[in-house]
Structure 1
């Protein structure tokens, strides 16, 4: 692949306020990142207000929603919001879309179509709206659109999809401009690239047309033990949310994660963290700057062209961004 290498930071973390997220975006811009992405969850912290703050407080860096869902937000509203952010930021916004959570939807009494279907429908409809067209009559969109469904001030915006499963990844290759794929472990990105390539080729496109972000967990510190402990705690918290099939397919032992999850369920969090093995730590990138450089360098050397650094990062997210910006990114740019 010849696509330029990009580095982004997923800055949502535990920061709830728009001001805190904007502060992190400014720091990421100063630290040399190419993009930042905020979170946005139904019944969780909204990242939408923060996107406006980021647009107004930064000047260079690209920024995106990671991700909006097309169920609690109508595709027409999403397209309108994206166009406005493009105008406000000088075309630096990237629209991240995802299927959202069926559990959260059930809390709100929402019964949407299946995840791949609703995401596909939204991508096609939103792209048409952003190009100044109505989605009415387009193959693959939901019923009900009319010819009057046209934005007053459309502004083309790159569309990324938060893709995890094979069908969603393949659809992303066919229809989207980029992919936000959580890669646990990081080497999982190569399987994602293969699946996206297959989808792109079905649509007569090239993988070079897409920005495929390897969204990895990274824990970086001047103290390796501290970095390891932080990632171990993060893995313990999420040990019950990981696909056993995906773990096994990547050479990890699901039983190890099951034991850790059982300790979490018993309320023994410290014991659960202590049970995280070196093998389980392969889910993320961990260590001092030199170790992070080596691990990221291996991914880039094997074909990855966008690495997205996400939580837990470090006890101090600002310190993590500075370590990545001062030591890791310059070294990787010099190497590649």
Structure 2
């Protein structure tokens, strides 16, 4: 795995009101951050609609959707949406797909009997469609008859896959351009994911394979308490290294440490009770990023 300095990003968590995204995205770009990450959680905010807006409000920063739940979306529609974004904002779109939360998929009548089969069929078809191919397939879940995008991306769109289980991690390594890790993960989870990627695709391919590591973070007064309260919402024990709380040097050291574990991007997420959301974004870009060597 690479030990290069990872890209630094921030996550617009879907518990934040959608109307706050405009200022969030502009400050993320103005402060020098590399990426904005968006979630498509049920039943909060559309990842694609939010990505389109964030891309339109900015000029440089990369925008990733991590992730779009495949049971919820026809693969041809997802390909059309990603391709349109990629044509409008070339080189700035990162697409993420995954199983989705199975309870939510059950709620909308879209739960698959075999999520692994669905994700494998879906990933292969989506990659081919985004690459401009004509796709015909009659799988268990994905069925297409001579489908080709009229306006495929003009350059390759990174296709990231999420999933926590070993089979999902291996599938993402084999078929995707990178792995999206879950939000509340510790060092052991990151090491396990890295090891599975290397086992699946070998050291050479793994050296260019992306691994996006989300991280809950807070700074300022009461930072540790806010991170611990956030971990409780994820049903994770407090103060176990899953979240980071502290000043710019503390957070920058966390980025360097995650790079040594294999992260190619670190996406910091604010706590739900962050008292100064835009200040948090600016802190990451203006205070933390300059402390990370390029």
TM-score (normalizing by structure 2): 0.89
User: Does the 8 Å CA contact 1:186/1:285 hold for their aligned counterparts?
Assistant: no
Which has the larger helix fraction? 1
Question: What residue is the counterpart of 2:150 in the other structure?
Answer: 152
For 2:189 and 2:109, the matched residues in 1 are separated by: 35
User: Does the 8 Å CA contact 2:48/2:81 hold for their aligned counterparts?
Assistant: no
Residue in structure 2 matching 1:287, options 238, 246, 264: 246
1:77 Cα shift?
0.4
User: Does the 8 Å CA contact 1:25/1:36 hold for their aligned counterparts?
Assistant: yes
Question: What residue is the counterpart of 1:254 in the other structure?
Answer: none
Question: What residue is the counterpart of 1:169 in the other structure?
Answer: 169
User: Does the 8 Å CA contact 2:6/2:255 hold for their aligned counterparts?
Assistant: no
**Do structure 1's residue 308 and structure 2's residue 267 form an aligned pair?**
yes
**Do structure 1's residue 326 and structure 2's residue 286 form an aligned pair?**
yes
Question: What residue is the counterpart of 2:210 in the other structure?
Answer: 211
Which runs of 5 or more structure 1 residues have no equivalent in the other structure?
243-256, 258-275
CA change 1:323–1:104 in 2 (3 A) is same
For 1:205 and 1:114, the matched residues in 2 are separated by: 31
Higher relative contact order (CA 8 A, sep 6+): 2
Question: What residue is the counterpart of 1:8 in the other structure?
Answer: 9
For 2:114 and 2:137, the matched residues in 1 are separated by: 21
SS of the counterpart of 2:263?
coil
Deviations 1:221-257 (A, max 9, x none): 2x3xx10111111112221xx5xxxxxxxxxxxxxx5
**Do structure 1's residue 317 and structure 2's residue 260 form an aligned pair?**
no
For 2:247 and 2:115, the matched residues in 1 are separated by: 38
CA change 1:199–1:13 in 2 (3 A) is same
1:4 Cα shift?
5.1
For 2:226 and 2:244, the matched residues in 1 are separated by: 11
TM-score (normalizing by structure 1): 0.79
**Do structure 1's residue 194 and structure 2's residue 195 form an aligned pair?**
yes
1:13 Cα shift?
4.4
1:144 Cα shift?
2.8
Deviations 1:72-107 (A, max 9, x none): 111110000000001111231111111112211222
Question: What residue is the counterpart of 2:219 in the other structure?
Answer: 220
User: Does the 8 Å CA contact 2:118/2:142 hold for their aligned counterparts?
Assistant: no
User: Does the 8 Å CA contact 2:178/2:210 hold for their aligned counterparts?
Assistant: yes
Q: Larger radius of gyration, structure 1 or 2?
A: 1
Aligned length: 289
Which has the larger strand fraction? 2
Question: What residue is the counterpart of 1:88 in the other structure?
Answer: 88
For 1:131 and 1:298, the matched residues in 2 are separated by: 35
CA RMSD of aligned residues (A): 2.3
SS of the counterpart of 1:68?
strand
For 1:301 and 1:68, the matched residues in 2 are separated by: 28
Which runs of 5 or more structure 2 residues have no equivalent in the other structure?
none
